[in-house]
Amino acid sequence: MRFRDGQWLPAEGVRAEYAEEVYRITETPSGKGISLLCPTKKIMTRGDILNLATLSVDIEAAFDGCISVTTTHWQGAAQRGPNFELFPAGQPDIPAQITKSAKGTTLSAGSLSATVSSKPHDFDISFHSTDGSKKLTTLLNRSVGFAMNPGPTTPLATEDMSKIKHYIFTQTTLGVGESVHGLGERFTAFNKVGQKVDLWNADGGTSSDQAYKNISFWLSSRGYGIFIDTPERVELEIGSERCCRVQTSVEGQRLKWYIIYGPSPREVLQRYSILTGAPGSVPAWSFGLWLSTSFTTSYDENTVNTFLAGMKARDIPVEVFHFDCFWLKAFQWCDFVFDEDMFPDPKGQIARLKAEGTVKKVCVWTNPYLGQASPVFAEAAEKGYLLKRKNGDVFQWDLWQTGMGIVDFTNPAACKWFVECLNKLFDIGVDSIKTDFGERIPTEDVQWFDQSVDPKRMHNHYAFIYNRLVYEALQARYGANEAVLFARTATAGTQRFPLTWGGDCESTPEAMAESIRGGLSLGLSGFAFWSVDIGGFEGYPEPWIYKRWVAWGLLCSHSRLHGSNSYRVPWTVDEDDSSDEGCSATLAKWTHLKARLMPYLFSQAQHSTKNGIPLSLRALCIEFPDDPTAWTVDRQFMVGESLLVAPIFEEYGSVQFYLPKGKWTNFFTGEVKAGPAWFTETHNFGTLPLYVRENTLLVLGKAGEKRTVYDYDTDVEVRSYFAGEGTKAVLVDNTGKEVGVLEVKGGGVTGKKALKGDFVVTVVNA
């Protein structure tokens, strides 16, 4: 929200007041910080303290490299929940150090410090590395304050605050050339400088400034990140109100955020994962191809069987089959019961499919809404499992499902009932749940079962409690590391419950690019795993779009074919073109390649979850933070630390891409290119720019491998790409357990005793 009209004037109807000086500094009650008393005018005489607002700014050490900043106007305001679950694995202990010098008072949290200027009648708080080598950002004059709208003309007007909106805001400085990234799965420009961003979950598709996954964390190219510690609506003006500042504002009396020092993006993300939780692990089978029925298409048991038989006949292994919405009876979403007219024996069908080997796992679509035509609606309403209006009525509207209600997950009984419904699905052979929706959570005229929560804070937070409940139900049934969601909505901390996909994209090259920007941004927000609707959700993809999408979609961490009103099995897209360049052959090639990459992918996945970094899509700036171009590239990505992918957006295969500094080897041809430089290539549908970074030992499954789950240390091919002394590759089994380490020593590869069967080591660049 903008509080000013240009640099000099207040916005119409707004009264803003600012912390004009630091009047007093005291130690906080925790003993780990300092509290600043900041009047909203400079105190030149004793009488200046009267009829005056003040702001409190509390600065505390959280852990090494992380400091919190809390700004408060009226401290008596109630602090209602819900709140983010911070430090789920425990808060690391660090003693705060408070020192004073002629320059000011400094609070240090290990490698990060904040210094409050000692200049009289000044407001200047700088954040910097403790060793003084790196200046990060600053809170300067008129950068911390509160605003009221409409602006009262007299303090007496604040007697009735029901008619006045009150905001707290801070403005951190933007350095010359600094870029800002993350803030969830955002489909707008990769660098957020110049944008207004509202953190408010919405079902807006991939072609707008709305986002399904709003994450209140952003990453700066200057070596730090900021996490805003509130699930309510946060409005950011990122170099858009003041070109040299990032303004963060919330409606209320209090704003808290954490600044996290790197200096590299890897270190920032790793520390962010300490604060909000590390990404959860996913099983190896989830990396295989997922095939969906699509959304509004007509399908029954025979359709499903035909799809899977057709994929098997075309040598396209399907790991997971997904039943989308119409496994349920029309108007009865979501009552957890297969439509008996279309699926008379779902348990038997699932068992037969698995026994025949046409599919390994089954996923079904669910959401937390109940249409009133569903038989379970009356039960849920009677027992108080649904969100209510303030007058006691069940909250209903005709948005999405007729007269639908919303499951109230603040009610423990409702949670237990919901899990019981899920368990009935698990009993018939369902292995995974697509947790769709959860964005359109109302905030007006609602009463939650837990009356202590603030409806406005529940809007975004609902995504967390919804996905956690389903994820933990899957864990309880199948084991801690066997749980997999396919979720659309998220908030900070939801990375603990993988995985997510990118929502409703169109079947166009522009939507491919939008989706990639969304995946890159989510990866820079602490999420390790991500998928996309291959071929696009809306519309009928042209065969060339489908094939270009398949190529990079199979190089995402997770890969699903899904559409809206048209099928995504390849033979329906191109009239069953049986040539080597047809959709079926193209999908088979890329599915087989992903299977061969599994020893590398699954090893990198363990590293990603341990360190809070994305497996894919991984922005180039994570691997090459000192390369300015890497912070601008938004049409390509890394898969793990060693593979670079440049998707193709043109029918005839022309693509321009960037390679950072070093030697890069074409995975398919062995051709070597040297960066940093831009290149242009032309590809058919069976290849794209897939380049291997130097100093890589790439472990692949054997030639011809088509399975997703196998022994990743047996019969493998180890390729050496300009691998110098000390280059390593960690070997894991198909549960993610480390079983050995290959390392280049003395010109050879050591650790080969961990390899089994007929393995081969190839020096590609001999």
Q: Are 91 and 78 in contact (CB under 8 A)?
A: no
Is the separation of the CB atoms in 481 and 736 below 8 Å? yes
At 407 the three-state DSSP class reads strand
Tokens 């999408």, residue? 549
Asked if 555 contacts 592 with a C-beta cutoff of 8 angstroms, the reply is: no
Give the whole-angstrom CA distance, residue 239 versus residue 176: 11
Which of 104, 123, 111, 115 shows the shortest CA–CA distance to 224?
111
Angle at CA of residue 497, ends 200 and 413, nearest 5°: 85
Contact of 505 with 533, CB cutoff 8 Å: yes
Q: Say if residues 402 and 331 touch (Cβ distance below 8 Å).
A: yes
| Short-list 307, 317, 359, CA closest to 595 | 317
User: At residue 712, what is the residue type?
Assistant: Y
Closest to 318 (Cα-Cα) out of 353, 294, 289: 289
Sign of the CA dihedral running 376, 485, 323, 734: negative
Residue keyed to tokens 């600043």: 36
- Structure tokens belonging to residue 152: 């009262």
Helices 412-427, 455-478: inter-axial angle, 10-degree rounding: 40
- Catalytically annotated residues: 436, 439, 504
DSSP state for residue 93 in the 8-state scheme: P
Beta strand 165-173 pairing with 214-220? unpaired
Contacts of 293 (CB under 8 A, 6+ apart): 299, 303, 304, 307, 322, 323, 324, 326, 327, 567
For residues 555 and 533, give the distance between their C-alpha atoms in angstroms, rounded to a whole number: 13
Q: Count of H helices and E strands in the chain?
A: 10, 41
> Can you tell me which residue has the tokens 């041809």?
669
What's the token pair of residue 8? 């000099």
Q: How far, in Å, CA of 145 to CA of 139, rounded?
A: 11
Which of these, 663, 261, 213, lies nearest to 462 by C-alpha position? 213
Strand partners, 238: 195, 246
Residue 417 and residue 474 in contact, taking contact as beta carbons nearer than 8 Å? no
Helix axes 543-553, 509-523, angle to 10 degrees: 20
Cα–Cα distance for residue pair 143/139, rounded to 1 Å:
6
